[in-house]
């Protein structure tokens, strides 16, 4: 079925306007590209394409994944740091966007306001990919779903429990991805950090179509039966000033040995989008345990980001 999917020319800003069939297509393509990479075969599906990588915030994985993925498929990536271009400072985002659209074939954007990546998509005339905004981190969730599928062989019905800042970009995007793909998603977070009711309602709608379930609670006992325990930093990029306050608020939500044991499931795996602040959201012990698949997850950023670029811009 997924061979009928055509994503050419599409943006990837969130998974909200992607169907489960389209997401499966991206995951299948990522798997194919991973196997190819492991055999040392590079491709040319992006040959002759020039790709702008805009980063208002720092990055290791996302930047490297876009850069290496582009090179592996024959494209030329150009890194543009937010501080060094005019975007929204000396020039409106719309104007920079129209200039970049005349020179580049695709644009990746990581930054603060989600509206900025939407403006790029609306005005550049080329595919735009969200490499993280304050609200969403969809390419990360593709890699997370790929990693879960590798470990369990399927996605439908897997129980994933996220603990920590329940209204950050990761919590939001995981909730969307799980709702679309039929996973059971539980967000364990204090009352102060619960997701926006509108997003929750939207995800409940997706869930009713995919047989997913979505739960939000402040009770850590809800980890019972989890197949996957997921966490993220307690203070996201741009929120560093809230660090001390968050440590106080989120201490009971730390992923440690006792919490992993509370799942009652010896096969539970641990995931984290990274970078991790060990001793805060996760202990070193869990991070380094055989249950932790965080480096497979990080590697899968490369294959999934490559799949997004090949599907939306490449010649297949």
Rounded Cα distance between 182 and 75, Å, is 34
Q: Is 299 in the site for ligand NVA (CB under 6 A)?
A: no
Choose the one of ligand NVA, ligand CP, none that binds residue 187, judging by a C-beta under 5 to 8 angstroms depending on kind: none
C-beta atoms surrounding 257 within 10 Å? 11
9 phi, psi to nearest 5 deg: 85, -5
Greatest pairwise CA separation for the chain in angstroms: 56
Q: Which residue, 225 or 275, has its beta carbon nearer to ligand NVA?
A: 275
Given the complex with ligand CP, which of 61 and 262 has the nearer CB atom?
61
Q: Is 184 a catalytic residue?
A: no
Residue 80 is a binding residue for ligand CP (CB under 6 A)? no
Please say if 254 is a catalytic residue: no
Q: Which of 45, 62, 67, 186 touches ligand CP by CB under 6 A? A: 62
- Is residue 110 flagged as an active site residue? yes
| Contact in structure between 172 and 201 (CB atoms under 8 Å) | no
> Per CB under 6 A, does 124 bind ligand NVA?
no
Q: Which of 228, 273, 307, 308 binds ligand NVA (CB under 6 A)?
A: 273
Residues in the chain: 316
- Least distance in Å: CB of 273 to ligand NVA? 5
Strand pairing category for 76-81 and 50-55: parallel
Report how far residue 13's alpha carbon sits from residue 169's, in angstroms, rounded to the nearest whole number: 12
Q: Could you say whether residue 232 binds ligand NVA (CB under 6 A)?
A: yes
Q: With DSSP H G I counted as helix, E B as strand and the rest as coil, what are the percentages for the chain, rounded to 5?
A: 50, 15, 35
Contact residues for ligand NVA (CB under 6 A)? 132, 137, 168-170, 232-233, 236-237, 273
Q: Which residues bind ligand CP (CB under 6 A)?
A: 59-62, 132, 140, 273-275
Q: Which residues are catalytic?
A: 110, 137, 140, 232, 273, 301
């Amino acid at each position: 079925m997924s061979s009928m999917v055509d994503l050419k020319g599409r943006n990837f800003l969130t998974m909200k306007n992607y169907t489960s069939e389209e997401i499966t297509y991206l995951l299948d393509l990522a798997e194919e590209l991973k196997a190819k990479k492991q055999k040392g075969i590079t491709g040319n599906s992006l040959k002759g394409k020039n790709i702008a990588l805009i980063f208002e915030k720092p990055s290791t994985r996302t930047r490297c994944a876009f850069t290496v993925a582009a090179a592996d498929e024959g494209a030329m990536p150009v890194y543009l740091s937010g501080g060094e271009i005019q975007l929204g400072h000396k020039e409106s985002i719309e104007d920079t966007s129209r200039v970049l659209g005349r020179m580049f074939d695709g644009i990746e954007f990581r930054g603060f306001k989600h509206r900025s990546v939407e403006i790029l998509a609306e005005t550049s005339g080329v595919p735009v990919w969200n490499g993280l905004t304050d609200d969403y981190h969809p390419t990360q969730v593709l890699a997370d779903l790929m990693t879960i599928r590798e470990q369990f062989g399927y996605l439908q019905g897997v129980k994933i429990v996220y603990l920590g800042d329940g209204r950050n970009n990761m919590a939001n995007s995981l909730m969307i991805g799980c709702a679309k793909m039929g996973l059971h998603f539980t967000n364990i977070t204090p009352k102060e950090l619960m997701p926006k009711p509108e997003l929750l309602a939207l995800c409940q709608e997706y869930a009713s179509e995919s047989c997913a379930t979505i739960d939000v609670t402040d009770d850590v006992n809800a980890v019972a039966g989890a197949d996957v325990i997921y966490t993220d930093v307690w203070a996201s990029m741009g929120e560093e000033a809230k660090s001390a306050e968050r440590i106080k608020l989120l201490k009971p939500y730390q992923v440690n040995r006792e919490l992993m044991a509370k799942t009652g499931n010896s096969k539970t795996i641990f995931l984290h989008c990274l970078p991790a602040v060990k001793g805060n959201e996760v202990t070193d012990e869990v991070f380094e345990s055989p249950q932790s698949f965080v480096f497979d997850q990080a590697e899968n950023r490369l294959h999934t980001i490559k799949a997004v670029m090949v599907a939306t811009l490449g010649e297949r």
